[in-house]
Amino acid sequence: LAHGVIRLEQSVHDFGLVRRRLEIVKLRGVSYVGGFHDFKIQTGGMRVFPRLENRPHSRPLPKQTLRSGLRQLDSLLDNGVPMGTSTLILGPSGVGKSTLGAQYLSAAVARGIHCAAFLFDEQRQTFLDRGDALGMGLSKHAASEMLKIAKIEPGSMSPGEFSHSVRKAVEDDKVRAILIDSLTGYLTAIPEAQAAVVRVHELTSYLSSCGVATF
> What pLDDT sits at residue 60?
66
Under a CB-based contact definition with an 8 Å cutoff, are residues 45 and 60 in contact?
Answer: no
> What pLDDT sits at residue 54?
47
* CA dist list (Å): 25 to 28, 38, 50, 185: 10, 15, 15, 32
> What pLDDT sits at residue 118?
94
> What pLDDT sits at residue 190?
66
Nearest to 181 by CA among 140, 127, 128: 127
> What pLDDT sits at residue 115?
96
56: helix, strand or coil: coil
Beta strand 81-82 pairing with 65-66: antiparallel
Under a CB-based contact definition with an 8 Å cutoff, are residues 121 and 183 in contact?
Answer: no
> What pLDDT sits at residue 128?
94
Q: Per-residue pLDDT tens, the chain, 215 aa: give them.
A: 788 888 888 887 666 567 788 888 888 888 888 788 888 888 888 888 887 764 555 566 667 899 998 999 988 988 889 999 999 999 988 899 999 999 999 999 999 999 999 998 889 999 999 999 999 999 999 999 899 999 988 667 777 788 888 999 999 999 999 999 988 877 776 666 566 777 788 888 899 989 999 99
The alpha carbon of residue 134 and the mean position of all alpha carbons in its chain are separated, in whole angstroms, by 25
Under a CB-based contact definition with an 8 Å cutoff, are residues 147 and 141 in contact?
Answer: yes
Calpha distance 16→140 (Å, rounded): 34
180: helix, strand or coil: strand
Under a CB-based contact definition with an 8 Å cutoff, are residues 36 and 20 in contact?
Answer: no
